[in-house]
Structure 1
């Protein structure tokens, strides 16, 4: 097992010249403890210097590291220079695997913002054993994909255990947000559709409910809720629609359960939807969300139409203004039932546009957690819950996010 103690940097933000990368760097400049050694990395020295010049004063002396994801020598040197590498360079299916491999070989802890099932599956297959040997924690999904889901489930599990309520059997997350699609999210969707076109069999891989399980054949869980469908109405009268992030978040939560030897519950059924409100307004909103999501995916699946959409959809590396980001928020409520019939409700919420402002907080705190906190001795391809767990929850609470569990 390699040591990460004697490295030149504590944290490197890779992709710092991109929109979310720069937001993450700015967050770290404002909130990282004094003495934490942070560097910025990317493909262009000039762009890195310009990004650094626009950051808060604490970043003025941060080192700059030039490394292209297509240059294995530069990536190896980058990974070996730091204890933690936080990367925002996507789509990860195109650019991410060499970065993951460099970190796994160097014993460097890694955090990303991916929401791509196929990339995470490929990374697990490529580096899990290597990271086990080197001691690297490879942690995917350290942003709005999928920290609220993953850590919310961990909270529910801890509360059920403390109460002696038995394993979790059914959990449904209801998400409400104020925010917009990021250019990176659109680009990731585009990359996944292009992957399906080149290899239709990959669609079946992504659709498998346990696509990210360490051992899919050993999964004891029953049939899982569908990720898509028609609008529905909950028992409290709230209308619900398919949640665009459910096909990814649910796989991360199920991987956490499997990595913990199905401690959440061997019979766990976990699903996610988007809350749309009550009454006729809620019904119309649910119908609009459902139709809009289906329309976007359908249009992106047609090559000529995809080219037209590129002219109007957010481009990679772009995002809303600071004022618009500040008006955003997210709220995820997880409704749970245990084998004993006990019911719980976990709430995970925070200010700021979830795909930008809130995600910068989550990734920034994940990087600091991996670099500074006393964590359980785990390595390999992990999830936020299994790699960081309670220490990350504590950090995010201090950063202004809500993590609560109550008996329902």
Structure 2
């Protein structure tokens, strides 16, 4: 973004949604003097959110903006350095705001895990954003910062040790307590509906490099399936005795990580291979559980993407959480997650990155990650990547986040194993 004076450092769009309110609350506590405004299509509701945030937010301006009115989004983008948005499903509501930020040279951060939306954002607005100096940074929540930043931290560690490029790299979700937000569920249902109706989209989503800036330049590497179950020892000796199954968010996360590698000039390596899975423990029942988890994910991602349109949406909508709904504060505080990412480099060195955070991953933890991403874009200008366009968290704000996250009680550490 051109360093011209803007009225605000950050505008939070979607402040009345459940995760939007949590993000507003986090910014009020951790904003560090940033000039912040709140935006939404119902000013009275936005004002009520602001009034609940306490003294730090009492003077935050209220802006009216609506995805159905592009002129309001254009005005919003022109007034701020950074727009952070929680308004989804993004494939349905997100592109007009991306367009406004790309045109205005305004940085942008969201929570999307919708690979189809990110692909559309790249195709339509990457070049314009690159030309105006905007950083359009998708997937700044639980999807996909733990994945993206863990690999980036491993790359930095191996680089410091002169251990060579990364080769086989695997993220393993070791522990999790919490729930998927209503907004995330709505996005997943929207994606299943779209892919069920569009065979070409379904094929694109199955491509491990569908977010690559240059698909023809990508290596054809095996072992990058999104749905598989494995013995832990196949990933790393430290996981001997454990079993792993498919992780539901492997598809969007892995494509973000691979795009990061490409955007960074293949800094991780031309033979970098990446996969994600979740640990199901080491009990006698673990192999069966791993197979069951993987099978359920395969049905959802495979048969679900083909036949979802034939399922009764009224029944589905009745049992899944709605956008704007969420757990109690006590339940959010009880949540937590830990992921471990293992890699081997071309010199034979082995490393592990551990990324852990307290708080429900779909709500409290995600709002912290999104808030810190926005603050990085707004306040840490000297630490940002020189890259512009449609980016990933690692490619845009990797170094800034590595510095910021410990103060936000996010534990990210790397260690050499051999």
Interval of TM-score (by shorter of Structure 1 and Structure 2): over 0.9
**1:378 — aligned with what?**
387
Equivalent pair of 1:9/1:39 in contact (CA under 8 Å): yes
Deviation at 1:294, TM superposition (A): 4.8
Q: Does 1:246 align with 2:250?
A: yes
**Structure 1 pair 307–290 and aligned structure 2 pair: CA distance change class (3 A):** farther
TM-fit CA distance, 1:290: 3.2
Alpha-carbon distance in 2 for matches of 1:353, 1:57: 26
1:131-170 paired onto structure 2 within 5 Å: 131-170=129-168
Residue segments in structure 1 that go unaligned for 5+ positions in a row: none
How many angstroms apart in 2 are the aligned matches of 1:162 and 1:357? 33
Secondary structure of residue in 2 paired with 1:279: coil
Tell me if the contact between 2:196 and 2:202 (Cα under 8 Å) persists in the aligned partners.
no
CA distance in 2, matches of 1:28, 1:5: 23
1:7-26 equivalences in 2 (<5 Å): 7-26=6-25
Partner Cα separation in structure 1 for residue 283 and residue 54 of structure 2: 46
1:223 alignment partner in structure 2? 222
Structure 2 unaligned spans of 5+: 234-239
Alignment equivalent of 1:347, drawn from 349, 354, 361:
354
Which of 341, 364, 377 pairs up with 2:371? 364
SS at match of 1:225: coil
Identify which range, 316-325 or 274-283, moves more after superposition. 274-283
Q: Residue in 2 aligned with 1:310?
A: 317
Query: What is the CA–CA distance in structure 1 between the aligned matches of 2:274 and 2:300, rounded to whole Å?
Result: 25
Q: What is the deviation of 1:278? A: 1.1
Contact 2:73 2:97 in 1 (8 A): yes
Partner of 2:237: none
Residues 397, 42 of structure 1: alpha-carbon distance in 2 compared, 3 angstrom cutoff: same
Deviation at 1:224, TM superposition (A): 4.3
Distance 1:391 1:180, change over 3 A: same
Whole-Å separation in 2 of the counterparts to 1:306 and 1:270: 34
Task: State the match for 2:73 in structure 1.
Answer: 75
CA RMSD of aligned residues (A): 1.6
TM-score (normalised: structure 2): 0.93
